[in-house]
């Protein structure tokens, strides 16, 4: 049911976005560039709007957003429920899952942090 709701939401957003891009191309360009400022996409002079702007609200964009949102459904953790077996990437670039690091019935401890 969650996947169907996400499909409806993302599809509606893409259809509305694409329609607005057709009807109001300059306003949508300004809006998308404003969104690009948040992600710092606009800071690279060799990566102009013409390279990435038209991809917004395309069919490939729809598929990408759906894959990401559906994958995130599997990653949600809830108090009192089993932990999700999320995919992780090792330093060697190998993709495995969190539970692959468990050894017997020993607890698996995850330490998140950084060194600055």
pLDDT digits (tens, 9 = 90+) for 36-68: 777 776 677 777 778 778 888 899 999 999 988
Q: Which helix (H) or strand (E) holds 88?
A: strand 87-89
111 versus 30: the higher-pLDDT residue is 30
**Tokens encoding 65:** 């957003």
To the nearest whole number, what is the mean pLDDT of the chain? 84
| pLDDT confidence of residue 19 | 94
| pLDDT confidence of residue 115 | 67
Domain spans of the chain, in order of start: 1-74
Give the separation between CA 25 and CA 27, rounded to whole angstroms: 6
Do 21 and 28 meet the contact criterion of CB atoms below 8 Å apart? yes
């Amino acid at each position: 049911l969650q996947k169907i709701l996400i499909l409806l939401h993302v599809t509606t957003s893409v259809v509305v976005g694409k329609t607005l891009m057709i009807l109001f191309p300059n306003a949508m360009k300004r809006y998308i560039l404003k969104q690009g400022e948040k992600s710092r996409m606009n800071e690279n002079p060799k990566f102009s709007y013409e390279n990435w702007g038209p991809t917004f609200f395309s069919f490939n964009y729809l598929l990408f957003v759906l894959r990401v949102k559906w994958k995130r459904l599997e990653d949600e953790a809830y108090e009192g429920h089993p932990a999700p077996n999320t995919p992780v990437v090792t330093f060697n670039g190998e993709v495995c899952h969190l539970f692959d690091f468990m050894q017997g019935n020993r607890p698996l401890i995850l330490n998140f942090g950084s060194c600055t």
